[in-house]
Chain A
Amino acid sequence: MADRYVPTIDQARSLHRQMIRIRLFEEHAGALAEAGKIPGFIHLYVGQEAIAVGVADNLRTGDAVTSHHRGHGHAIAMGADLRAMYSELLGRRTGYCKGLSGSMHVSDSSIGMLGANGIVGAGIPHALGAAFHARYRGNDSVAVAFFGDGATNIGVFHESANLAAVLGLPVIFVCENNGYAEFSPQSSQSLIADVADRAASYGMPGEVVDGMDVCAVHAAAQRAIARAREGDGPMLLEAKTYRYYDHQGVKGLRKSYRSEEEVEQWRNRDPISSFEAWLDTEALLDHGEAASVWAEVAEEVQSAASFADAQPEPDAADLMAYVYAGG
């Protein structure tokens, strides 16, 4: 089912801009981390933009996503405010989590972004809960669980996939297979080449999709989401992709675990440049227009980062303010 989504001009421009917003947000976040301005860990989504954008474009108000440690892309694709994102990454009070959580845990439930998560696989069952909630309320909202190939070897993935299938929940499992669980290749983690094959063992459909092609992701997600909305239960999509930077940070390569050639091969299939080439061919957006989008987004990102950098750090009183919910 290797069909591709054919966007209208407005849709195409929106997908294009969203991918660039993620790309430049991440590139700048990487630079800030290198400069020592972002404390702690940072896991960049660069290279995987087509997946978050291609899936999220099919979602609407009331839908939800759960994410993982590499979660900035999902938040931005869901419509997160870049100023609150950077504020969180910098540990500032105006951050999405008031500076209490950091890069790995950005969430904004008001836009259906239920959280990045520092524990591999842990966000997956939360998507089941959101889907359960939708059905409980009698509406046709759906939930998407994003996770990596590494997460498909942890128990909670299997429990969640089976449980979602048994309960017939409107969940779309989106495996972003970037080929590496931290520093270990997928081939050392599992004896099957396609994670999508696992779907059969839960009695749900599985499908492999090119994660570097936003239109392919979009089409596959559209089908999976439509069947979930219609009450036909969960589905597993595996998007083959690649992360350009290291597991953590930009270049913290103590040891090489992948070749320059491999990185280069994937970069040659860059989701944004390949989409731009197609847009140009289809006369939906020419090079000059594309260049102005990059410039506008660069300005937006720079402005969001500057805003964040001027914000105050949390007060000591904030430490105990959110341990327990009141009321």
Chain B
Amino acid sequence: MPAASDSSRELTYVRAFNEGLRQVMREDDDVFVIGEDVAGYGGVFNAFQGLLDEFGERRVVDTPISEMGFIGLGVGAAIRGLRPVCDLMFFDFLGVALDQIFNQAAKLHFMSGGSMSVPLTLTTAGGGGVSAGPQHSQSLEAWLAHVPGLKVAMPATPYDAKGLGVAAIRDNNPTVVVLSKQLLGRRGPVPEDLYEVPLGEAHTARAGDDVTVIAISRMVGEALAAAADLAERGGPSLEVIDVRTVQPLDSATILESVRRTNRAIVVHEAVTFGGVGAEIAAQIQELAFDYLDAPVIRLASPFAPVPFSPGLEAVYFPNAGTIAEAATRLVQRTFA
């Protein structure tokens, strides 16, 4: 746990991730970074800034635009004992490299009867809200969470961007760390020490009584804003759970909360249909049915690609306002 002395230091989300990576690289020579423009340029989102200077070309490697190739290289290097950090620049580029992720990295431990493991970290930038258009704004975590063998971390704060990143790199399984593009410049407290946030442990970001809001990545901040707003207006009291990792999913923390509040809203940027929220809602009704006073609500995006035009994009995603409204209606039982 962080020392109290440095609890006040603030870093941006992307700097926090960068600091964790840098500290792990100092500690473990087997960790290397590979991807497009990660070395000379430091990553298009600055996630790898300064690494080339500190660790050199041996450990920070630029590649051609060949995601299947360099992620596949990462799989092979991981089998041999290295700890590659492969950068998939945008989450939306998943499709061009997917075989190496879901058929190779995810399955080789199982397929070798446990004799091989793939300690590979895949970093990527997901989510919308920056007018990046339909092919650079998606949240595809449900695709990955569906595949046995993968882990998927979705940090919502600078603290977690560092701690989940470190945990992912040290984990012996292929782990995808999805950095939220909108949160990259967001500041928050980050201890200077090297620390891990364990994969598979959700965080209760705010305690409350009436409705549990289970949020993913950037939606955690929106849920906290909704909770603060409702508290100020004397509305329902929200408990906000940051899932932190969608695979493994900390079902126990979610269920414990819902059994107390008796109501649940799941909120994420990905489209509603088949999203991780659908899985969470299903688990709640299967395992906490008798505790529910209202249906489990999914607040997510409509079944359309992420639009470009800023006004349209603003109404596409859930936000603090829609969360507060949904919570209020849930307590009033005015959902259709």
Q: Are A156 and B109 in contact (CB under 8 A)?
A: no
- How long is the Cα–Cα vector from A124 to B72 in the complex, in angstroms? 8
Interface residues of A, count at CB 8 A: 47
In angstroms, Cα B116 to Cα A51, docked, is: 26
- B58: contacting residue among A118, A136, A160, CB under 8 A: A136
Of the candidate stretches A162-170, A229-237, A299-307, the one touching chain B is A162-170
Q: Complex Cα distance A262/B253, Å?
A: 66
Within 8 A of B (CB), among A228-264: none
Indicate if the CB atoms of A96 and B64 lie closer than 8 Å. no
In the complex the two chains form, is B99's CB within 8 Å of A109's CB?
no
Q: List 28 A-B contacts (CB under 8 A).
A: A64-B80, A97-B112, A98-B114, A99-B113, A101-B111, A109-B79, A115-B112, A124-B72, A125-B70, A126-B72, A126-B73, A126-B104, A129-B76, A129-B82, A133-B76, A133-B80, A133-B82, A136-B32, A143-B76, A155-B68, A159-B66, A159-B68, A160-B66, A163-B63, A163-B73, A322-B114, A325-B114, A325-B172
A-B pairs with beta carbons under 8 A, tally? 154
Q: Quick one: CB contact mask for B105-146 with A, threshold 8 Å, 1 for yes?
A: 000111111111111000000000000000000000000000
Chain B contacts of A108 at CB under 8 A? 115
In the complex, which residues of chain A have a beta carbon less than 8 angstroms from the beta carbon of B72?
A: 122, 124-126, 128-129, 156, 159-160
A288 at interface by CB-CB < 8 Å: no
Cα-based distance from A321 to B58 in the complex (angstroms): 35
* Interface range for B: 35 or more
Is B149 located at the chain interface by the 8 A CB criterion?
yes
Q: Judging by beta carbons under 8 Å apart, are B111 and A97 in contact?
A: yes
Tell whether B103 is near chain A: CB-to-CB under 8 Å.
yes
Taken residue by residue from 34 to 73, chain B's Cβ proximity to chain A (1 for < 8 Å, 0 otherwise) reads as: 0000000000000000000000001001011011111111
Interface centre among A99, A130, A143, A323 (most CB of B within 10 A): A323
19 other contacts beyond A130-B79, A323-B109, with CB at 8 A cut-off?
A97-B112, A98-B114, A101-B110, A109-B79, A114-B79, A122-B72, A122-B103, A125-B100, A130-B80, A132-B76, A132-B77, A133-B81, A136-B77, A143-B76, A156-B72, A324-B109, A325-B114, A325-B173, A326-B172
Whether B75 is near chain A, meaning CB under 8 Å from some CB there, is yes
Q: A156 to chain B: which residues have CB within 8 Å? A: 68-69, 72, 99-100
Q: How far, in Å, is B115 (CB) from chain A's closest CB?
A: 6
A110 vs B112: C-alpha distance in the bound complex, in angstroms?
12
Pick the contact of B116: A107, A163, A323 (CB < 8 A).
Answer: A107
A119 within 8 A of B: yes
**Is B191 engaged at the interface, CB distance under 8 Å to the other chain?**
no
Q: Which residues of B contact A162 (CB under 8 A)?
A: 64, 66, 69
B110 touches A130 (CB 8 A): no
Query: Which 6 residue pairs across A and B have the least CB separation, nearest first?
Result: A129-B76, A125-B72, A159-B69, A98-B113, A126-B76, A129-B77
